[in-house]
Amino acid sequence: MSRRQLARHGAWFGAAVALSVVGGEVISSVVGGTTPSAAAADDTATLRFVQLSDSHLGFTGTANPDVTGSFSRAIDQVNALPYRPDFVMHTGDLTHLSTAAQFDQVKQMLGGVRAGSVHTVPGEHDAVGDHGRGYLATFGAGSAGDGWYSFDLKGVHVIALVNTLSLERLGHLGPAQLDFVRTDVAGLSSDTPIIVFSHIPLFAMYPAWGWGTDDAAQALSHLRRFSSVTCLNGHVHQLFTKTEGTVTFHSATTTAYPLPRPGVGPAPTPQTLPAGRLQAALGIREVSHVQGRTALAIKDSVLA
């Protein structure tokens, strides 16, 4: 990422930004007024879902002394939306230390989400000490391999990938998962909208910090024939957008604590913000897609 790109995107970190994705082009604006997702809220042909990420239940520190409270407020914010999301996706680091108690707590809290269904992918904090066995025991039902899966809803094909369960090689999909992607989309029409979830970005956001997936290009090679592909990730605790042809990448913010911008400081450690500024760095993401259209609307809102 060049200095110019960093400066251009810098204003988005910790901000509420509405993004309309049309034909691979990203059009951004500060949230306010009527957004595409809000305008389509009563349309029964619209797929509407919410992304939560990086709740880190079990974290203790000055960066956020009450991550449970923050995650609870995020769930309340989802439940207060003027529509019932078709699903909610949590893109990893549900827990901070992957203990049984932490997994049980986050499962109970996600059970209070009012949505058509709730889905997850694991983060590296969900694999501490056991390579994700606790995560899979709690959230892995119906998945394949290390927890990957896909489903179809309202004309959209959703793929959930895992690139975190090996702490020795973070940001790696592996041959079995790459083959899953290839066979999973082989029978789909090229005009099928594709949404891909992962914890670590599927692009090289900042490899020096492990903010990238080393074999993502192989996975994306199976998706480039599709006219609309959107990849949504967590891990980096801040908003960022990148477009490559028909593939658009969106990194989400967190409900726990902020991390520094890429390259700022020696490592991505939890950041303690001045009093009163934490809430503005936390948030949720709403996404909507209308059947028969190529536009995908994304709205990032700070935590209420």
The pLDDT, as a whole number, for residue 45 is 80
Backbone φ and ψ of 227, nearest 5°: -75, -20
pLDDT at 230 over 70: yes
Determine the pLDDT at residue 295: 64
Of residues 137, 118, 119, the one with CA closest to residue 127: 137
- The answer to whether the beta carbons of residues 53 and 252 sit under 8 Å apart is yes
Spatial distance between the Cα atoms of 50 and 277, rounded to a whole number of angstroms: 23
Tell me, what's the pLDDT at 149?
98
Q: How far is CA 227 from the centre of its chain?
A: 21
Which pLDDT value is given to residue 152?
97
As given in the structure block, the two tokens for residue 223 are 């998706």
Domain 18-302 has CATH 3.60.21.10: yes
- Of 12-26, 70-84, 265-279, 287-301, the range with the lowest mean pLDDT is 12-26
| Element containing residue 89 per DSSP (H, E) | strand 87-90
Task: Tell me: pLDDT of 25 over 90.
Answer: no
Whether the pLDDT of residue 129 is over 70: the answer is: yes
Q: Which is higher by pLDDT, 67 or 16?
A: 67
As a whole number, the mean pLDDT across the chain is: 87
- Please say whether the beta carbons of 134 and 103 come within 8 A: yes
Q: What is the SS3 assignment for 138-161? A: HHCCCCECCCEEEEEECCEEEEEC
Mean per-residue pLDDT for 107-112? 98
Bigger pLDDT: 100 or 245? 100
Residue 168 has pLDDT above 70, yes or no: yes
Report the C-alpha gap between 295 and 80 in whole angstroms: 25
- For the chain, the distance separating the N- and C-terminal CA atoms, rounded to the nearest angstrom, is 31
Residues near 203 by Cβ (< 8 Å), separated by ≥ 6?
212, 213, 216, 231, 242, 244, 249
Whole-number percent of the chain with pLDDT over 70: 85
Tokens for 46? 């619209």
Predicted local confidence at residue 28, as pLDDT: 37
Predicted pLDDT of residue 294: 67
The predicted structure's pLDDT at residue 51: 96
What residue ranges do the domains of the chain occupy? 18-302
pLDDT of 194: 96
Find the range with the poorest average confidence among 94-98, 166-170, 236-240: 166-170
In eight-state DSSP terms, residue 254 is B
DSSP conformation class of 68: H
H helices of the chain, where? 3-10, 36-39, 67-79, 100-110, 133-139, 175-185, 216-221
Residue 4 has a pLDDT of 43
Residue 240: predicted pLDDT: 93
Distance CA 241, CA 28 (A): 10
Q: Give the model confidence (pLDDT) of 175-195 as tens digits.
A: 999 999 999 999 999 999 999
